Amino acid sequence: MDRAKVAVENLLAEADIKVNGSRPWDIRVRNDDFYARVVRGGSLAFGETYLAGYWDADRLDELIARLFSSHVTEKARVSFTNLAAYLSATVRRRGAKSSAFEIGRRHYDTGNDLFERMLDRRMVYTCAYWKDAKDLDEAQEAKLDLVCRKIGLQKDQHVLDIGCGWGSFAKFAAERYGARVTGITVSKEQVALGREMCQGLPVEFRLQDYRDVTGTFDHIISLGMFEHVGTAHYAEYMQVAHDHLKDGGLFLLHTIGTNRSGLTTEPWIDKYIFPNGALPSVAEIGKALEGRFVMEDWHNFGAYYDKTLMAWFANFDRRWPEISAKYGETFYRMWKYYLLACAGSFRARANQLWQIVLSKDGVPGGYRPVR
């Protein structure tokens, strides 16, 4: 019997996943080249063979969750979870200013028509806050309001939004709190649509790297951008935030996090979805904060990202016929794998979502956590 097939079947069995089984999370292999490719190429090949149609599963999200929860990824010769050495030759350029706009071109500029159909009505592309919400729209508004309340936002205060997306926070803060917002992004498409969405509001969009920011701000927020900074630049990023935050102001950092330090982005995600990214650990963030900020509050609601990603996929899948002619079937499989695999990783608690509130010198009398 083929040794590669036996190796893969045995590995999957440890996660209670059967090849050609009948359960929703079981894998159906359509091309036997799948086995050898996965043995040679690990998680990158696992995703690429899915794109090529070599295998399928009714519940891809649950399959991935079981791989993470069973820890079989840690036993594999080539880890399905993370490979610190996979892109070791490129680690130095992760987050470098010379490549800062690549993520904008390759991901966020994919097409506003895609994101308009996938996201909520405000186009928030970060984890929603489902505590008391009935649907995605409510959960994303709750998250935006949570951010405003955590920084104690007041009328006429000026907020810097690092990685502002299409302006969802800026529009919300301006409309609901009477704030002024300057948003920076490396995506031309986000700037164009953001300006249209925020027309008539005290909101400015800049196509700009965070290292080129000028001025000082009452508060700074960053929702889902820190994952693109790169480990080597964490301290530099924190110093930029420190330098541009007024005394007495608060900096709220919202980021996906990993349970281990020193790991690059999962190889398939790096190649096809978010190039040159890196997920921070608690230790790495803590080191970058030293001498710059006081950590006032650290809130983990990573379990909500599973529900958010499943809602995004439901929207994407339902409205796919409207854009299928433009993007094609391979893109559909790629985007499906991206959304559902990420949902599975959060379901297994392999990844986290943190909101961290920071001050320059400590809040007098102490900060009161907001939930």
Distance CA 212, CA 192 (A): 20
Total Cβ atoms within 10 A of residue 252? 22
Angle at the Cα of 21 from the Cα atoms of 16 and 25, rounded to 5 degrees: 55
Closest CA to 338 of 244, 250, 268: 268
Closest CA to 271 of 107, 130, 81: 107
DSSP annotation of 247: E
Angle at the Cα of 333 from the Cα atoms of 328 and 335, rounded to 5 degrees: 95
How far separated are the first and last CA of the chain, in Å rounded? Answer: 56
From the candidates 127, 164, 198, 342, which is the catalytic residue? Answer: 342
Q: C-alpha 130: how far from its chain's center?
A: 17
Annotated active-site residue 342? The verdict is yes
Q: Which two tokens stand for residue 296?
A: 């006032």
Edge-to-edge strands of the sheet including 158-162?
A: 203-207, 180-185, 158-162, 217-223, 245-258, 351-359, 294-300
* Catalytic machinery residues: 342
